[in-house]
Amino acid sequence: MDTSLYVVASLFILAGAVFIYLTIRDNARPLPEGGLQWATTVFSVLLMGTGALALLFLMQPPQPPAPANDEARIGEAADNFSFYMVDDDRERTLHEFEGQVVLINFWATWCPPCLEEMPELNRLQADYADDGLVILTISDESPRQIKTFEEQVPLETVSGYVKDARDLPEPFDKMVRGRPVSYVIDRDGIIRDYLLGAGDYAFFENAVRPYLGESIAER
Protein backbone atom coordinates (compact mmCIF):
# COMPACT_ATOMS: atom_id res chain seq x y z
CA MET A 1 0.00 0.00 0.00
CA ASP A 2 1.29 3.46 -0.93
CA THR A 3 2.54 5.15 2.25
CA SER A 4 1.24 8.48 0.94
CA LEU A 5 -2.29 7.29 1.71
CA TYR A 6 -1.32 6.74 5.34
CA VAL A 7 0.21 10.23 5.41
CA VAL A 8 -2.94 11.85 4.00
CA ALA A 9 -5.20 10.02 6.45
CA SER A 10 -2.94 11.00 9.36
CA LEU A 11 -2.93 14.63 8.19
CA PHE A 12 -6.74 14.64 8.23
CA ILE A 13 -6.68 13.62 11.88
CA LEU A 14 -3.94 16.08 12.76
CA ALA A 15 -5.64 18.96 10.91
CA GLY A 16 -8.92 18.28 12.67
CA ALA A 17 -7.24 18.29 16.05
CA VAL A 18 -5.40 21.53 15.29
CA PHE A 19 -8.59 23.24 14.10
CA ILE A 20 -10.38 22.29 17.31
CA TYR A 21 -7.47 23.52 19.42
CA LEU A 22 -7.26 26.86 17.62
CA THR A 23 -11.02 27.29 17.81
CA ILE A 24 -11.48 26.81 21.57
CA ARG A 25 -8.07 27.66 23.01
CA ASP A 26 -9.14 31.12 24.20
CA ASN A 27 -12.50 30.02 25.58
CA ALA A 28 -13.14 30.01 29.32
CA ARG A 29 -14.23 26.39 29.04
CA PRO A 30 -12.88 23.79 26.60
CA LEU A 31 -16.09 23.97 24.55
CA PRO A 32 -17.11 25.83 21.38
CA GLU A 33 -18.92 29.12 21.81
CA GLY A 34 -21.20 30.54 19.16
CA GLY A 35 -22.38 29.20 15.84
CA LEU A 36 -19.10 29.67 13.98
CA GLN A 37 -17.06 27.80 16.57
CA TRP A 38 -19.58 24.96 16.67
CA ALA A 39 -19.56 24.70 12.88
CA THR A 40 -15.76 24.66 12.85
CA THR A 41 -15.68 22.00 15.57
CA VAL A 42 -18.18 19.76 13.79
CA PHE A 43 -16.22 20.07 10.56
CA SER A 44 -13.01 19.22 12.43
CA VAL A 45 -14.56 16.15 14.05
CA LEU A 46 -15.78 14.94 10.64
CA LEU A 47 -12.31 15.49 9.23
CA MET A 48 -10.74 13.47 12.04
CA GLY A 49 -13.35 10.73 11.66
CA THR A 50 -12.68 10.47 7.94
CA GLY A 51 -8.96 10.13 8.60
CA ALA A 52 -9.52 7.51 11.30
CA LEU A 53 -11.81 5.43 9.09
CA ALA A 54 -9.30 5.67 6.26
CA LEU A 55 -6.53 4.39 8.53
CA LEU A 56 -8.70 1.50 9.71
CA PHE A 57 -9.40 0.57 6.11
CA LEU A 58 -5.74 0.82 5.10
CA MET A 59 -4.65 -1.37 8.01
CA GLN A 60 -6.99 -4.20 7.04
CA PRO A 61 -4.96 -7.21 5.87
CA PRO A 62 -5.25 -7.78 2.13
CA GLN A 63 -7.57 -10.56 1.06
CA PRO A 64 -5.62 -13.47 -0.37
CA PRO A 65 -6.39 -14.23 -3.99
CA ALA A 66 -8.79 -16.99 -4.86
CA PRO A 67 -7.13 -20.24 -5.84
CA ALA A 68 -6.25 -20.62 -9.48
CA ASN A 69 -7.09 -23.86 -11.23
CA ASP A 70 -3.74 -25.39 -10.34
CA GLU A 71 -4.37 -24.64 -6.67
CA ALA A 72 -7.87 -26.08 -7.01
CA ARG A 73 -6.27 -29.36 -8.15
CA ILE A 74 -8.47 -29.75 -11.21
CA GLY A 75 -8.08 -33.26 -12.61
CA GLU A 76 -6.79 -34.74 -9.34
CA ALA A 77 -8.52 -37.14 -6.98
CA ALA A 78 -10.37 -35.38 -4.16
CA ASP A 79 -8.97 -36.17 -0.74
CA ASN A 80 -11.46 -37.53 1.74
CA PHE A 81 -12.74 -35.46 4.65
CA SER A 82 -15.36 -35.77 7.37
CA PHE A 83 -18.25 -33.48 8.13
CA TYR A 84 -21.30 -33.61 10.37
CA MET A 85 -24.96 -33.55 9.44
CA VAL A 86 -26.77 -30.44 10.64
CA ASP A 87 -29.95 -32.26 11.60
CA ASP A 88 -28.51 -35.07 13.74
CA ASP A 89 -24.73 -34.52 14.07
CA ARG A 90 -24.08 -37.80 12.27
CA GLU A 91 -20.55 -37.98 10.87
CA ARG A 92 -20.22 -38.55 7.16
CA THR A 93 -17.37 -38.49 4.64
CA LEU A 94 -16.91 -37.25 1.11
CA HIS A 95 -15.91 -40.69 -0.12
CA GLU A 96 -19.32 -42.07 0.87
CA PHE A 97 -20.65 -40.39 -2.26
CA GLU A 98 -18.29 -42.00 -4.77
CA GLY A 99 -20.21 -43.18 -7.81
CA GLN A 100 -22.29 -40.02 -7.80
CA VAL A 101 -21.52 -36.59 -9.20
CA VAL A 102 -20.89 -34.35 -6.20
CA LEU A 103 -21.25 -30.59 -6.08
CA ILE A 104 -19.69 -29.29 -2.85
CA ASN A 105 -20.84 -25.80 -1.98
CA PHE A 106 -19.04 -24.06 0.90
CA TRP A 107 -21.23 -21.32 2.34
CA ALA A 108 -22.11 -19.36 5.47
CA THR A 109 -25.22 -17.70 6.86
CA TRP A 110 -23.34 -14.36 7.06
CA CYS A 111 -22.68 -14.45 3.30
CA PRO A 112 -25.52 -12.75 1.33
CA PRO A 113 -24.53 -14.26 -2.06
CA CYS A 114 -24.55 -17.70 -0.43
CA LEU A 115 -28.10 -17.20 0.79
CA GLU A 116 -29.26 -16.02 -2.63
CA GLU A 117 -28.03 -19.16 -4.38
CA MET A 118 -29.48 -21.68 -1.91
CA PRO A 119 -32.92 -21.87 -3.59
CA GLU A 120 -31.12 -22.44 -6.90
CA LEU A 121 -29.15 -25.33 -5.40
CA ASN A 122 -32.35 -26.78 -3.92
CA ARG A 123 -33.96 -26.76 -7.34
CA LEU A 124 -30.90 -28.28 -9.00
CA GLN A 125 -30.79 -31.08 -6.44
CA ALA A 126 -34.46 -31.87 -6.96
CA ASP A 127 -34.14 -31.90 -10.75
CA TYR A 128 -31.02 -34.08 -10.99
CA ALA A 129 -31.12 -36.32 -7.93
CA ASP A 130 -32.39 -39.27 -9.99
CA ASP A 131 -29.49 -38.78 -12.41
CA GLY A 132 -26.88 -39.25 -9.70
CA LEU A 133 -26.24 -35.70 -8.51
CA VAL A 134 -25.72 -35.00 -4.83
CA ILE A 135 -25.12 -31.48 -3.53
CA LEU A 136 -23.25 -31.01 -0.27
CA THR A 137 -23.77 -27.61 1.33
CA ILE A 138 -21.15 -27.26 4.03
CA SER A 139 -20.49 -24.43 6.48
CA ASP A 140 -18.11 -24.01 9.38
CA GLU A 141 -20.80 -22.49 11.58
CA SER A 142 -22.64 -24.12 14.45
CA PRO A 143 -25.63 -26.37 13.72
CA ARG A 144 -27.81 -23.90 15.63
CA GLN A 145 -26.91 -21.06 13.27
CA ILE A 146 -27.53 -23.19 10.20
CA LYS A 147 -30.84 -24.52 11.54
CA THR A 148 -32.02 -20.96 12.13
CA PHE A 149 -31.46 -20.24 8.44
CA GLU A 150 -33.10 -23.50 7.40
CA GLU A 151 -36.25 -22.48 9.26
CA GLN A 152 -36.63 -19.81 6.58
CA VAL A 153 -35.17 -21.71 3.60
CA PRO A 154 -35.28 -25.50 4.11
CA LEU A 155 -32.35 -27.15 2.34
CA GLU A 156 -32.96 -30.05 -0.02
CA THR A 157 -29.23 -30.66 -0.21
CA VAL A 158 -27.04 -32.72 2.12
CA SER A 159 -26.61 -30.04 4.77
CA GLY A 160 -23.45 -30.40 6.83
CA TYR A 161 -20.88 -28.52 8.83
CA VAL A 162 -17.22 -28.81 9.77
CA LYS A 163 -15.83 -27.76 13.10
CA ASP A 164 -12.76 -26.04 11.68
CA ALA A 165 -12.41 -25.26 7.97
CA ARG A 166 -8.64 -25.11 8.37
CA ASP A 167 -8.61 -28.86 8.99
CA LEU A 168 -10.01 -29.60 5.54
CA PRO A 169 -7.59 -31.09 2.99
CA GLU A 170 -6.48 -29.08 -0.02
CA PRO A 171 -8.06 -27.54 -1.97
CA PHE A 172 -11.18 -27.45 0.20
CA ASP A 173 -9.40 -25.56 2.98
CA LYS A 174 -9.50 -22.55 0.63
CA MET A 175 -13.05 -21.92 1.83
CA VAL A 176 -11.52 -19.79 4.60
CA ARG A 177 -10.50 -17.26 1.92
CA GLY A 178 -14.06 -16.42 1.07
CA ARG A 179 -17.43 -17.82 0.16
CA PRO A 180 -19.36 -19.04 -1.70
CA VAL A 181 -17.02 -21.45 -3.42
CA SER A 182 -17.96 -24.76 -5.02
CA TYR A 183 -16.27 -27.84 -6.47
CA VAL A 184 -17.58 -30.40 -8.94
CA ILE A 185 -16.38 -33.97 -8.38
CA ASP A 186 -17.15 -36.70 -10.90
CA ARG A 187 -18.29 -40.26 -10.24
CA ASP A 188 -14.69 -41.43 -9.98
CA GLY A 189 -13.84 -38.92 -7.27
CA ILE A 190 -11.89 -36.55 -9.54
CA ILE A 191 -12.15 -32.78 -9.07
CA ARG A 192 -13.48 -31.47 -12.37
CA ASP A 193 -14.36 -27.85 -11.75
CA TYR A 194 -13.85 -24.98 -9.34
CA LEU A 195 -16.62 -22.39 -9.11
CA LEU A 196 -15.86 -19.10 -7.39
CA GLY A 197 -18.72 -16.88 -6.29
CA ALA A 198 -22.47 -17.20 -6.33
CA GLY A 199 -24.30 -18.70 -9.27
CA ASP A 200 -27.82 -19.21 -10.52
CA TYR A 201 -29.48 -22.43 -11.62
CA ALA A 202 -28.03 -22.35 -15.15
CA PHE A 203 -24.54 -21.64 -13.82
CA PHE A 204 -24.49 -24.76 -11.66
CA GLU A 205 -26.39 -26.88 -14.15
CA ASN A 206 -23.81 -26.21 -16.85
CA ALA A 207 -21.07 -27.20 -14.42
CA VAL A 208 -22.50 -30.61 -13.46
CA ARG A 209 -24.28 -31.81 -16.60
CA PRO A 210 -21.12 -32.95 -18.45
CA TYR A 211 -20.44 -35.50 -15.71
CA LEU A 212 -23.95 -36.91 -15.24
CA GLY A 213 -23.97 -39.17 -18.28
CA GLU A 214 -25.01 -39.38 -21.90
CA SER A 215 -28.73 -39.43 -21.12
CA ILE A 216 -28.44 -35.95 -19.62
CA ALA A 217 -26.94 -34.54 -22.80
CA GLU A 218 -30.07 -35.58 -24.69
CA ARG A 219 -32.40 -33.44 -22.53
Residues 171 and 110 placed together within one structural domain of the fold? yes
Residues 124 and 182 placed together within one structural domain of the fold? yes
Residues 98 and 181 placed together within one structural domain of the fold? yes
pLDDT tens profile 42-55: 888 888 888 888 77
Residues 119 and 51 placed together within one structural domain of the fold? no
CA distances to 26, 93, 164, 166, 203 from 172, in Å:
63, 13, 12, 9, 20
Count the residues in the chain.
Answer: 219
In a domain, 73, yes or no: no
In a domain, 146, yes or no: yes
**Which of 58, 74, 102 represents a domain boundary (last residue)?**
58
What's the DSSP call for residue 190? B
Residues 22 and 102 placed together within one structural domain of the fold? no
How confident is the model at residue 1, as a pLDDT?
44
Residues 45 and 97 placed together within one structural domain of the fold? no
Q: What is the CATH number of the domain that holds 130?
A: 3.40.30.10
Q: Return the exposure string of 73-102: e unless at least 16 CB atoms fall within 10 Å of the residue's CB, then b.
A: bbeeebeebebbebeeeeeeebeebeebbb
Closest by Cα among 146, 166, 177, 213 to 62: 177
**Is there a contact between 42 and 54 (Cβ–Cβ < 8 Å)?**
no
Regions of the chain short of the pLDDT cut 50: 1, 63-65
How confident is the model at residue 40, as a pLDDT?
86
Residue 169, classed as helix, strand or coil, is: coil
Residues 50 and 139 placed together within one structural domain of the fold? no
In a domain, 76, yes or no: no
In a domain, 75, yes or no: no
How confident is the model at residue 127, as a pLDDT?
96
Residues 36 and 92 placed together within one structural domain of the fold? no
In a domain, 165, yes or no: yes
How confident is the model at residue 195, as a pLDDT?
92
In a domain, 69, yes or no: no
Q: How many domains does the chain have?
A: 2
Give the integer Cα–Cα distance in Å for 76 and 192.
Answer: 8
In a domain, 74, yes or no: no
Residues 16 and 99 placed together within one structural domain of the fold? no
Q: Which domain holds residue 167?
A: 82-217
Residues 23 and 112 placed together within one structural domain of the fold? no
How confident is the model at residue 219, as a pLDDT?
53
Cis link prior to 180 (omega < 30° from 0)? yes
- Residue 67 burial class via C-beta count within 10 angstroms: exposed 0-12, middle 13-18, buried 19 and up: middle
Residues 54 and 96 placed together within one structural domain of the fold? no
Residues 87 and 54 placed together within one structural domain of the fold? no
- Strand 91-93 and strand 191-196: the pairing is unpaired
CA distances to 49, 63, 66, 187 from 210, in Å:
54, 33, 24, 11
Closest by Cα among 166, 175, 217 to 196: 175
In a domain, 167, yes or no: yes
